């Protein structure tokens, strides 16, 4: 019995020593919060990452205004469409470069001219078919809107612009080549 009591006392002493030696409590690591927040409050995910399947999507923001919600809505939609245009221009540039490479046009000048021409035409696209999909008002009264336009609509316009541009650029390139050939002919056979 004394042996058992001694063993229990020794075990208790060891446990007390180990517990007493740990001077700090276990640390609780703070986990990162990747939820969407606007103005330090939870907000719809689309206000941080505008995405809608099959569409280009952009977020527009209008600050609280004494002009009223109607005015704020117009401002937010215009801002959303502006963001859409910027997004579309950057994505279309990559697509156009891929498209122009697959068409077999060999001259760099022609491809550059096509990219420039298409970019200018796409910048003029008035986002037909764009629409307001969702809204959210922040605690401070700012209005967030989600604006989309179908990818198929934009892609159709891009294809049309590329084809038109290629026809124009190929004609210009042929005119340039013809002019150079005629100037070379004049140098070889001067008439004066």
The pLDDT tens digits of the residues spanning 45-77 come to: 999 999 999 999 999 999 999 999 999 999 999
Q: In this structure, is residue 29 part of a structural domain?
A: no
42: β partners? 37
Q: In this structure, is residue 3 part of a structural domain?
A: no
Q: In this structure, is residue 45 part of a structural domain?
A: yes
Q: In this structure, is residue 1 part of a structural domain?
A: no
Q: In this structure, is residue 30 part of a structural domain?
A: no
pLDDT, one tens digit per residue, over 144-169 is 999 999 988 887 777 776 666 555 55
pTM (global) more than 0.95: no
Q: Do the bridges between strand 131-137 and strand 55-62 make them parallel or antiparallel, or are there none, so unpaired?
A: unpaired
Confidence class for position 129, pLDDT limits 50, 70, 90: confident
Higher per-residue pLDDT: 109 or 57: 57
Q: What is the pLDDT of residue 37?
A: 96
Confidence class for position 109, pLDDT limits 50, 70, 90: very low
Provide, rounded to the nearest whole percent, the portion of the chain with pLDDT above 90: 35
Q: What is the pLDDT of residue 43?
A: 97
pLDDT, one tens digit per residue, over 10-36 is 666 666 666 555 555 556 677 888 999
Q: What is the pLDDT of residue 65?
A: 94
How is residue 103 annotated by DSSP? T
Q: How many separate domains does the chain show?
A: 1
Domain of 51?
A: 35-188
Number of residues that make up the chain: 192
Q: What is the pLDDT of residue 116?
A: 53
Distance (Å, rounded) from C-alpha 101 to C-alpha 155?
A: 17
Higher per-residue pLDDT: 76 or 113: 76
CATH number of the domain encompassing residue 125 = 3.10.129
Arithmetic mean of pLDDT over the chain: 74
Provide, rounded to the nearest whole percent, the portion of the chain with pLDDT above 70: 51
Q: In this structure, is residue 20 part of a structural domain?
A: no
Q: Do the bridges between strand 41-42 and strand 55-62 make them parallel or antiparallel, or are there none, so unpaired?
A: unpaired
Q: In this structure, is residue 14 part of a structural domain?
A: no
Q: In this structure, is residue 27 part of a structural domain?
A: no
Q: What is the pLDDT of residue 160?
A: 73
**How many angstroms separate the first and last alpha carbons of the chain?**
133
116: tokens are 């420039």
Q: What is the pLDDT of residue 166?
A: 57
Q: Who contacts 174 (Cβ-Cβ below 8 Å, separation ≥6)?
A: none
């Amino acid at each position: 019995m004394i042996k058992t009591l001694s063993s229990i006392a020794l075990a208790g002493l060891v446990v007390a020593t180990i517990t007493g030696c740990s001077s700090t409590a276990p640390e609780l690591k703070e986990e990162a919060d990747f939820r969407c927040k606007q103005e330090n409050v939870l907000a719809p995910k689309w206000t941080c990452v505008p995405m809608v399947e099959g569409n280009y999507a952009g977020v527009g923001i209008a600050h609280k205004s004494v002009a009223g919600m109607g005015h704020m809505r117009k401002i937010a939609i215009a801002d959303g469409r502006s963001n859409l245009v910027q997004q579309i221009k950057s994505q279309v540039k990559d697509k156009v470069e891929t498209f122009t490479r697959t068409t077999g046009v060999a001259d760099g000048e022609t491809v550059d001219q096509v990219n420039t021409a298409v970019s200018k035409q796409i910048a003029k696209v008035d986002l037909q078919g764009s629409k307001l999909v969702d809204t959210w008002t922040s605690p401070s009264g700012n209005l967030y809107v989600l604006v989309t336009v179908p990818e198929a609509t934009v892609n159709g316009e891009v294809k049309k612009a590329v084809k038109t541009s290629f026809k124009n650029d190929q004609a210009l390139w042929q005119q340039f080549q013809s002019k150079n050939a005629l100037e070379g002919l004049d140098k070889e056979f001067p008439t004066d």
